[in-house]
Amino acid sequence: MKTGIITTNTFSNHNTGLGHPERADRVSVIIDNLKKFEKKLIWKKPVVFDKKFLKITHSNKYVEIIENSFPKKGFSYLDGDTVVSPGSKQATFDAVGSIISAIDGVINKDFKNAFCPVRPPGHHSEKEKAQGFCIFNNCAVGANYLISKYKYKKVAIVDIDVHHGNGTQDIFYDNENVLFISTHQYPFYPGTGSEQEKGKFNNICNIPLPAGTNSEEYLNAFEFALKRLKEFKPEFVLISAGFDTDARDPLASFKLETEDFYHITKRILETSKKFCNGKVVSILEGGYDLQALQDDTERHVDALIEFN
């Protein structure tokens, strides 16, 4: 089976203003580059999904506030750095729809695994709060979709973004069906992510690492993430795939190299194979250097393609 790539061009209409790091080029460079894998990939567009799935993750009130927040022209601010424009509405819904499409595609065996290069990202978005470029928590909606629609009882989310996924942690803090594992620079934005934040059911696993963490140090620490993943025996794995751990990233201070993203992805796939037979869906979170995004997502997808 092939690997699915779920995306659509509406991401380019999510205008965040001149000079904003979370910009449309981030996704267009990834998509343009992945076209060279044409024969190994199945390209699919996000589905239009039932809003009830959004409302499992976010409150009714929050969904309503967000739906009414998109301006007819110009920009509006959901927090200090989360900007929306008229085109953001469709992009925001398509980002959520992409993970739902990806999950359906893997479960229906249209493809073996999938990557969603979309924006806005999601992992800072809490149950009732937009934050850090994130509006709806795409990955969290995906996990709740697996639990609600497909009756899964063990969904793992591995967050490899350099920032702590505070939103995902907030949403699943007291949900024993979800194991949330996050490696991140700490102390750093958004301030959360200490080892003491363990979740009500010991279902949160934070692996904070200092600024300057290099490939060897990261991959050593990642072994602990894999150990927790193995103990949990996931039925499905979602990856919050941030590429801002790359040494070239302008917003953070890890020193990862392109090959590391291949190894990280491969190790997640190998570790979960026994439990979920490779049912893995990855979605783009951060990553703000265009060349790094292009190189690192290529190796990330390489690992997804190679996995059998």
- Known catalytic residues are 124
In 10 A of CB 76, how many CB atoms?
Answer: 13
Output the smallest distance, CB 165 to Zn ion, in A: 9
Binding residues for Zn ion, how many (CB under 5 A)? 5
Output the smallest distance, CB 173 to Zn ion, in A: 20
Interface characters, 189-228, with Zn ion (x: CB under 5 A): ----------------------------------------
C-alpha span between 93 and 70 (Å, rounded): 12
Interface characters, 224-263, with Zn ion (x: CB under 5 A): ------------------x-x-------------------
Residue number, 111 or 136, with CB nearest to Zn ion = 136
C-alpha span between 240 and 219 (Å, rounded): 17
Interface characters, 283-302, with Zn ion (x: CB under 5 A): ---x----------------
Output the smallest distance, CB 53 to Zn ion, in A: 25
Among 161, 170, 295, 296, binds Zn ion (CB under 5 A): 161
Pair 128, 45: CB distance under 8 Å: no
Residue number, 122 or 142, with CB nearest to Zn ion = 122
Output the smallest distance, CB 50 to Zn ion, in A: 29
Six token digits for residue 173: 């803090």
Residue 199 C-beta-side C-alpha neighbours within 13 Å = 22
Rg (CA), the chain: 17
Which range in 9-17, 161-169, 174-182, 203-211 contacts Zn ion by CB under 5 A? 161-169
Residue number, 104 or 285, with CB nearest to Zn ion = 285
The residues in 162-191 that bind Zn ion, with binding defined as CB under 5 A, are: 163
Which range in 19-27, 39-47, 160-168, 203-211 contacts Zn ion by CB under 5 A? 160-168
Residue number, 3 or 168, with CB nearest to Zn ion = 168
Task: Output DSSP code: residue 108.
Answer: T
Output the smallest distance, CB 65 to Zn ion, in A: 24
C-alpha span between 242 and 254 (Å, rounded): 12
Six token digits for residue 256: 């990862």
Residue number, 94 or 244, with CB nearest to Zn ion = 244
Consecutive H or E run containing 205: strand 204-209
**Cβ partners under 8 Å of residue 163, min gap 6:** 123, 124, 132, 184, 185, 188, 189, 190, 242, 244, 252, 286
Query: Is residue 132 close enough to count as binding Zn ion by CB under 5 A?
Result: no
The sign one gets for the Cα dihedral 28, 34, 39, 43 is negative
What's the Cα-to-Cα distance from 193 to each of 129, 165, 181, 202, rounded to whole Å? 17, 8, 10, 14
Residue number, 163 or 267, with CB nearest to Zn ion = 163
Output the smallest distance, CB 64 to Zn ion, in A: 27
Which range in 107-115, 155-163, 201-209, 233-241 contacts Zn ion by CB under 5 A? 155-163
Q: Is 268 exposed, middle or buried (0-12, 13-18, 19+ CB in 10 A)?
A: buried
Residue ranges that bind Zn ion, judged by CB under 5 A = 161, 163, 242, 244, 286
